[in-house]
Amino acid sequence: MNMTFDLAGKVAIVTGGSRGIGRAIALGFAEAGASVIIAGRSAEQLEAVAEEIRQKGGSVLPRVTDLTIPDDIEGLARDAAETFGRIDILVNNAARSFLRSLLDLREDGWDKIFNTNVKAVWLLSRAVARLMIEQQGGRIINITTVGAEKAEPGMAAYDSSKAALKMLTRCMAREWAPFGIQVNAVGPGLTRTSFSEPIWSNPDIEKHVTSMLPMGRIAEPEEIVPAVLFLASDGASYMTGHTIYVDGGALTG
Ligand SMILES: NC(=O)c1ccc[n+]([C@@H]2O[C@H](COP(=O)([O-])OP(=O)(O)OC[C@H]3O[C@@H](n4cnc5c(N)ncnc54)[C@H](OP(=O)(O)O)[C@@H]3O)[C@@H](O)[C@H]2O)c1
């Protein structure tokens, strides 16, 4: 058994691979030897990450995809399989959020968050799982958040969607284990990306937020990658249905 993070010869889809945590995961996978399909809506941002991967000698397919459109999701799975012949790993990383109290949140806002963060994950995982079943195995890794465990004011729809994703991870793990598909999740704490920019771009808000974190700082996107690499690797051969939190101790109390 290979107990390293080596992904040589593997093929991985990373949704939201065009920036932030998804970009870091795509670069980490490419460095570990995987061919990577990165998906997002901005062709320009995808191409920039694809060029970074190519410059380092990696193999990459940037695939413009809107995960709220079911046909686009099917097309992503089909193009990935046609280009590389198989799909070994799927990282459901793309998500959306906005700050809104439960009293002010509109129905279409709730739907946008759940369609991207939960429904799209189910649809893409189902499309990919059908291929993985033919291949007799694969890994699916969902990116959740500490908010799945801890309510944050103004984040009700997002936190609820990620708690649903945590359970969807367990449901997929339960149903697809007999086919050799392992499904786990990684839950980051606050991480420096465009997603969290309103917090870290304001020194007063960042100071207030980090003062409540045991490790006293927010994460860099690259710090989330090793947990994802582990779950994608042979080292996680007997693990399914779990969430690993990478949160600087945010959930300790
Ligand atoms: N940053 C944090 O503090 C933090 C903390 C905990 C968990 N997380 C989780 O980590 C993951 C990545 O977050 P991040 O901080 O890296 O966010 P980010 O920098 O905002 O990146 C989000 C990515 O998702 C893509 N995306 C969003 N909607 C999409 C759609 N409809 N179709 C296709 N792609 C879409 C974006 O590309 P386009 O906009 O071009 O489509 C982008 O590549 C998310 O699951 C998030 O919930 C983040």
Cα–Cα distances in angstroms (integers) from residue 135 to residues 127, 129, 142, 173, 182, in the given order: 13, 9, 20, 17, 13
Do the domain assignments include residue 1?
no
Q: Is the CB of 148 under 6 A from ligand 1?
A: no
Domain that residue 99 falls in: 11-246
Query: Is residue 3 a part of any domain in this protein?
Result: no
Span 170-222, pLDDT tens digits: 999 999 999 999 999 999 999 999 999 999 999 999 999 999 999 999 999 99
Report the separation in Å between the CA atom of 236 and the middle of ligand 1, taken as the mean of its atom positions.
Answer: 25
Count of residues for the chain? 253
Residue 73 lies in a domain: yes
Residue 230 belongs to some domain of the structure: yes
In this structure, is residue 251 part of a structural domain? no
For residue 174, is it within any domain? Answer: yes
Is position 253 within any domain? no
Is the CB of 193 within 6 Å of ligand 1? yes
Does residue 5 lie in a domain region? no
Count Cβ atoms below 10 Å from residue 204 Cβ, excluding itself.
Answer: 7
pLDDT at 4: 72
Report pLDDT digits (tens) over 32-76.
999 999 999 999 999 999 999 999 999 999 999 999 999 999 999
CATH at 189: 3.40.50.720
Count how many domains the chain has: 1
